[in-house]
Amino acid sequence: MQELITTWTMAIASLIATLLLLLAIYTWPRGERRRCPGHRGWRTLWNPSRWIRRSECWQDLTGVPIASTGDVRCPECGRSTPIERVLRDGRRIRLGVIGAVLGVIAIGSQIGVAAHSGRPLRSIPTLALVMLSNTAIGEHRTVVRKEIEQRVGDGAIAGFNARRLADVLVFDLRADGRKWNANEAADALGRLWPDSKDALDRELVEGDVQSRKIVAVILRSRDQTGSMELFIASVDDLRDDGDASAGWLLQGNARDAGEYLIDHYWEAPELIRAVLDSDDAQQRRIAMVICGFAGDATVVERVIPVLIDELRDNDIWGDARLAAPAVFKFGPPAIEALRPYVDDPDRQLRETVRSIIERLEHPDRAWDECENRLPRITSTTHDPLVLDFWTAAGGR
C-alpha cells in the first residue's frame, strides 16, 4: 500500500511539475520588449520553431508606432495586432521554480520506490520498457530487461505490449553465443501465451535451427490445434540432436515430438511414413513406434520385422519396453506378421509375441488371465502393453 501511494504521488507530482514548467516557458509577463505574435492557429504547431518560440515571426516591435485604432503593424510580416495582444519578453521565474520543486519531489519519490522495492524502473510504464527492449538499452541482462522479466512473471504484461515483446524475445532463441538468454526468453514466451503465438509461428518458419526447435517445444506444449509447419518441425525433432547448443532446452524434445505426432498422426501420416527409412537411427526408430501407437496398419509389414529385434533379450535398456506396446497397438493386423516368431529361440521374444497375439485375439482377457504371460520387460508395471508413448519412452 505504501508503494502504491508513493507511486501515485510521484505520477501526480510529475504531471503537475510538467504543466507548471510549460506554463512558465510559454506564458509571458509584461516587459520592455514587444514581440509580434505572427499567425495564430493549430497549423503553426507543426513548425519546429514554434516549439521554442511563441510565434513564427517574433519580430521586436519596440518603438513601432501605435495606430489610432490601437493596432501595431509588424514591419517584418505585415500583421496588425492589437497592442494588448502583443507578446512580451520574460519568463515566469516563480512559476518555473514551483515546477522545478515538484519535479524534485517526483524524482525523490521514484528513488524512494526504487530503494524500497529493489526495482529502479518499477514506476516506468510497461509500453516504454517494451519499446526499449528492442534496443541495446533493453537487451538481455540489462536493468530494463530484468524489470520486464519481473513483470512477465507477475502476469502484468498482456495484449499489445505482450505481442510487441514477443516479437523481440523470439530473436533471443537463436544461437548467438550469449548464455542463458534463450532459456529466459523461452520461459517468458511461454508465460505470454497466447499473445506470443503469432511471433512463435513466424519464428518457426523464419528462425535458425536452434530457435525453430525451441519454438516447436513451446508450441507443442501450448497449441493443440496443430499446423503443417509444426508437424514438419516435430518430425525433424525426432532426430538425434544431443550436440545442440541449447541441449538443456531440447532435453526430451524427441519424446515430446513423438507424443504430439501420435495425437495428430492422421492429419499428416505421410510425414511419418517418409522417415521410416531415415538415415538417422533415432528418427527412424521413433517413427516406427509412432506408426504402431497410431495404429497405422498400412506399414505393418515394414515396421514389425524391425521392432521384433527390440523384443529380444539384449543389453539395450528400455527398447522392449517401448517396442512391445507399439507392436500391440497395431491391433489385429499385426497378428499374421508376428506368427513367424512364436517359436523363436529367444525366450523373451517368443513369450512376448505369444502374449501379444493372445491379447489381440482375446481382447476381453486381462494380462493376468492370459495363458501366455508377458515376460518382465519393465519394472514400471506388470502390463507394459497399456503404457502410452511418453511413459514407455521414459518420459515419466
pLDDT in tens, 130-166: 999 988 888 888 988 999 999 999 998 999 999 999 9
Judgement on whether residues 317 and 374 belong to the same structural domain of the protein: yes
- pLDDT band, very low/low/confident/very high, at 70 (cuts 50, 70, 90): confident
Do 306 and 288 sit in the same domain of this protein? yes
The last residue of one of the domains, among 117, 143, 165, is: 117
Of 206, 223, 240, at which residue does a domain stop? 223
pLDDT band at 112, cuts 50/70/90?
A: low
State which residues form the domain around 240.
225-396
> Exposed, middle or buried, 114 (CB in 10 Å: 0-12/13-18/19+)?
middle
**161 and 42 in one domain?**
no
Judge if 325 and 357 occupy the same domain.
yes
261 and 335 together in one domain? yes
Q: What total number of domains does the chain contain?
A: 3
Same domain flag for 194 and 243: no
The stretch 110-117 carries a mean pLDDT of 62
Look at residue 102 in the predicted model and tell me its pLDDT: 79
- Indicate whether 241 and 383 sit together in one domain: yes
Task: Let me know whether 354 and 252 are in one domain.
Answer: yes
CATH number at residue 242: 1.25.10
The pLDDT tens digits of the residues spanning 20-37 come to 777 776 665 555 667 787
Quickly state the pLDDT bin for 335 (edges 50, 70, 90). Answer: very high
* Residue 128 and residue 111 in one domain: no
Q: What is the pLDDT of residues 359-375, one digit of tens each?
A: 999 999 888 888 998 99
Same domain, 232 and 159: no
Among 63-67, 196-200, 263-267, 285-289, which stretch is predicted with the lowest mean pLDDT?
Answer: 63-67
291 and 361 assigned to the same domain:
yes
Residues 232 and 361 in one domain: yes
The answer on pLDDT for 245 being more than 70 is no
Domain limit, last residue, from 172, 199, 223: 223
